[in-house]
Amino acid sequence: MASGVHEQWSSRMAFIFAAVGSAVGLGNIWRFPYMAGENGGAAFVLIYIAFVVFIGMPVLMAELTIGRRGGMSPINTIKKVALAAKKHPRWSWIGGLGAFGGGLGLLSYYSVIAGLVLAYIIKGAFGAFSKFWADPSVAGLTGDAANAAVRVQSAAEINTLFADPAMMVIWHLAFIGITVYIVARGINAGLEKAVTYLMPALFFILLILVGYSMATGEFAMAIAYLFEPDFSKVTSETVLAAVGQAFFSLSLTVGTMLAYGAYLPKTISIHKSAAIIAASDTGVALIAGLAIFPLVFAYGLQPDAGPSLIFETLPIAFGAMPGGQIFGTLFFVLLAIAAITSSISLLEPAVSYFEEKQGMNRWKSAIFAGTAAFTIGLLSVFSYNTWADMTPLGFIGITEINGATANFYTLIDFTVANIIMPVGGLLLAFFAGWVALRKDMMEEMGLPEGGIFEIWHVLVKYVCPPVLIFIIISGLT
Ligand code: PHE
């Protein structure tokens, strides 16, 4: 058995940045806004925030605690903690479901979208965004007419890329390649250090974008859209989608935080770290929403455009703002980095397992897991073009999910985020509350009886499991 895949995090800062780096990614800037858009805005946002606090945080604390307790790859960690409580080793399957079903499944399409981000770096650098405004169809127009014309340009740009499967495969391969390379080499001090500078930089650029949106976009409309809930729009599907988004965004249930917890020095406070991770993650998602929706409304775009939303909105603004070529390029560079610090954490659980269990070396494990994710990802690539209208579950009557055509991409995303993640969260909360020894959890968290520990324990034991069961059943039926 290989020893620890990497040693302990070099400092509390390093851990926080790695964990925040994992949490903050496409889920915040790409997925959150379009999920909010597809699910009616503010009501979704508020439910999402409630889930982050009452379900996400407890599960995050559970994963870090169990991870540190077990100190191995997610599957073996859970086995160890179960055995310590004299429970069945088969509980380790929760780790397997997460790392393989969730982690690799998610990485498969995460990488396709991240590939688009890479493509947009190049587009930005070559001034593609300002060309929208310079196009003869736009020049000379003002007001709504100009907006409508520029919208057509921006949509054409992303649609051309969608329509080109070969290009999409290349970008997808490039992104998986980078991920595999970093994971294979081990997460070295260089990456820890890079993340420490780059995450604040991303935050900074987002703030600039919000400022720009505030000044030029329909900011008030965006605020109303994001924060004035109309609960009559809430269905059981909205609630399930919000729970899925909370798990997705906090990097839960796929082994990531279990794996990161295993490298966590004993002296670091788990509950404080969890609070910082959750607050940063939610902060970035909301700020991204505030950057994007004012532009969506200002240019007459549809908030429920789906996965192409940020690729259509932001470039319009970059094309119009002074220095947009630089900011636009930089934004996509930082987004790519945010995506990489997440994708490595998606691959890590499977890789650490292959290493530990199968005795494969790190390179082999990473290439093997990466190839699996790449291959599954091809289904998503073709869902944007050749197979856009193909509905693999059409034969059992599933042709649409939440208004989107149920092609491979929609189905994989739905399965991961709305089934595997909520079920994984349910199992993890149940495991932490009912299977693992209460005193082990308490000792590992370094908390006294009562207080925060008790609140956490009640949440994972009595609140999360029934609430999740209810949400899953009503959301799926
Ligand atoms: N949290 C990441 C994001 O928001 C995605 C992710 C999910 C990463 C699960 C790791 C594990 O982009």
Ligand 1: atom nearest CA of 253 is 9
Low-confidence ranges of the chain (pLDDT < 70): 1-7, 187-191, 193-194
* Residue 247 CB less than 6 A away from ligand 1: no
Question: How many angstroms separate the CA atoms of 183 and 178, rounded?
Answer: 9
Say how many Å lie between the CA of residue 332 and the centre of ligand 1. 17
Question: How many angstroms separate the CA atoms of 313 and 308, rounded?
Answer: 9
256 in Cβ contact with 349 (< 8 Å): yes
Burial class (CB in 10 A: 0-12, 13-18, 19+), 134: exposed
Q: Whose C-alpha lies nearest to ligand 1, atom 6? A: 251
* Residue 251 CB less than 6 A away from ligand 1: yes
Tens of pLDDT, residues 425-471: 999 999 999 999 999 999 999 999 999 999 999 999 999 999 999 99
Name the residue among 220, 396, 211 with its Cα closest to residue 297. 220
Q: What is the mean pLDDT of the chain?
A: 91
Q: Which amino acid is at 241?
A: A
Name the residue among 278, 323, 292 with its Cα closest to residue 206. 292
* Residue 416 CB less than 6 A away from ligand 1: no
107, 199, 202, 251: which to mutate for ligand 1, most atoms within 8 A of CB? 251
Quick one: pLDDT at residue 306?
A: 82
Name the residue among 257, 239, 264 with its Cα closest to residue 98. 257
Quick one: pLDDT at residue 376?
A: 96
Helix boundaries (H) for 299-361? 309-320, 324-358
284 in Cβ contact with 75 (< 8 Å): no
Name the residue among 30, 46, 341, 14 with its Cα closest to residue 206. 30
CA dihedral for 29, 33, 115, 147, sign (positive or negative):
negative
20, 32, 249, 348: which to mutate for ligand 1, most atoms within 8 A of CB? 249
What is the helix (H) or strand (E) element at residue 49, kind and residue range? helix 42-51
Q: Between the CA atoms of 131, 136, 139 and 142, what dihedral angle is there, to the nearest 10 degrees?
A: -110
Lookup result for tokens 């503010």? 42
Say how many Å lie between the CA of residue 129 and the centre of ligand 1. 28
- Distances from the Cα of 444 to the Cαs of 70, 269, 439, 455, in angstroms? 10, 10, 8, 16
Say how many Å lie between the CA of residue 128 and the centre of ligand 1. 29
Say how many Å lie between the CA of residue 135 and the centre of ligand 1. 37
The distance from CA 139 to its chain's CA centroid, rounded to whole angstroms, is: 38
The token pair that represents 237 in the structure block: 């599907």
Say how many Å lie between the CA of residue 19 and the centre of ligand 1. 10
Bridge partners, 401 (sequence order)? 404
Assign 3-state DSSP to the chain and report helix, strand, coil percentages, each to 5. 80, 0, 20
Name the residue among 338, 307, 391, 452 with its Cα closest to residue 23. 338
Ligand 1: atom nearest CA of 257 is 11
Ligand 1: atom nearest CA of 26 is 12
Quick one: pLDDT at residue 442?
A: 97
* Residue 102 CB less than 6 A away from ligand 1: no
Name the residue among 465, 6, 1, 3 with its Cα closest to residue 261. 6
Name the residue among 165, 229, 51 with its Cα closest to residue 409. 165
Residues in contact with 439: Cβ distance below 8 Å, sequence separation at least 6, in sequence order: none
Buried b (16+ CB within 10 A) or exposed e, 318-342: bbbbeebbebbbbbbbbbbbbbbbb
Ligand 1: atom nearest CA of 28 is 4
* Residue 347 CB less than 6 A away from ligand 1: no
Quick one: pLDDT at residue 3?
A: 43
Tens of pLDDT, residues 301-311: 888 888 888 99
Ligand 1: atom nearest CA of 256 is 11
* Residue 342 CB less than 6 A away from ligand 1: yes
Name the residue among 340, 335, 380 with its Cα closest to residue 120. 335
* Residue 22 CB less than 6 A away from ligand 1: yes
* Residue 27 CB less than 6 A away from ligand 1: yes
* Residue 25 CB less than 6 A away from ligand 1: yes
In 124-266, at which residue ranges do the beta strands (DSSP E only) sit?
none
* Residue 254 CB less than 6 A away from ligand 1: yes
CA angle 417, 307, 290 (to 5 degrees): 95
Ligand 1: atom nearest CA of 346 is 10
Quick one: pLDDT at residue 121?
A: 96
Ligand 1: atom nearest CA of 32 is 4
Burial class (CB in 10 A: 0-12, 13-18, 19+), 250: buried
Say how many Å lie between the CA of residue 23 and the centre of ligand 1. 5
Buried b (16+ CB within 10 A) or exposed e, 268-278: bebbebbeebb
